[in-house]
Amino acid sequence: MNGRLRAVLLGGFSALALVVGGLGASQLRHAIAAGPMLSSPHGIVVDDTGRIFCGVRASDVFVYDAKGTLVGAWTVPDAVGDLRLALAPEDRLEVASRGGGRLHVYGREGGLVETREDPDAFERIGPEHDHTHRRADGTVHALRDGALLRLAPAPETVLVAALRWPLSAVASYPLLLVPLLLFGAGGILYSAILTGRAREAGRAG
């Protein structure tokens, strides 16, 4: 492969990296301004007051009101893998992670009430509310493609929109945008150097 072709290919890949990285950084800036991101949600329950509890990033619980406004959030200690949530008596919320081996019991305002060893907690809570929750009054909420929706009563309503690509691909590790931007900028610079060398070699030939 001659120097000019290498420069063209490197320049093309670098420009693509710079565009994708820049777009992702812009999305991240707007997402941070809007509040904590609903990233990789798994596990949803809705209580009788309309508060929506979602497992997020396999480590956090986000709480939304009926309109989709974030009203609370906390981190689940020692969480490993997807979260499952279950409503419990006395306004409690049970939370277990796929590989955590513990059951965490919270007040529905977020205060930790109890943590106990319970290797079967994740399986016992079960998959019933991994993606959908139906209340006794017929209201249905769901996590679909990274978004939080109210499916019933009609019309279907997006309460929290899904993150768009490319931010959705790196939402759990947004710092990956930094090397992407650096590669793009450095690659374009090096491509220019290769192009200059190829021209000099052409003149000398």
For 3-45, the pLDDT digits (tens) are: 677 767 777 777 777 677 777 667 566 555 555 778 889 999 9
Domain ranges of the chain: 3-34+168-204, 44-162
3-state secondary structure of 77: coil
Structure-model confidence comparison of residues 137 and 180, the more confident one: 137
Position 105 scores a pLDDT of 97
Name the amino acid, one letter, at 28: L
Position 17 scores a pLDDT of 74
Which stretches of the chain are assigned E, i.e. beta strand?
Answer: 44-46, 52-56, 60-64, 70-75, 83-88, 92-97, 102-107, 112-117, 132-134, 140-144, 147-152, 157-160
Structural contact between residues 93 and 86, judged by C-beta atoms closer than 8 angstroms: yes
Structure-model confidence comparison of residues 7 and 192, the more confident one: 192
Task: Please check the confidence at residue 101 and state whether its pLDDT lies above 70.
Answer: yes
Global confidence as pTM: 0.75
| Average pLDDT of the chain to the nearest whole number | 85
Architecture of domain 44-162: Beta Barrel (2.40)
Average pLDDT over residues 77-86: 92
Quick one: pLDDT band at residue 166, thresholds 50, 70, 90? Answer: confident
Which is it for strands 132-134 and 157-160: parallel, antiparallel or unpaired?
unpaired
- DSSP letter for 132, please: E
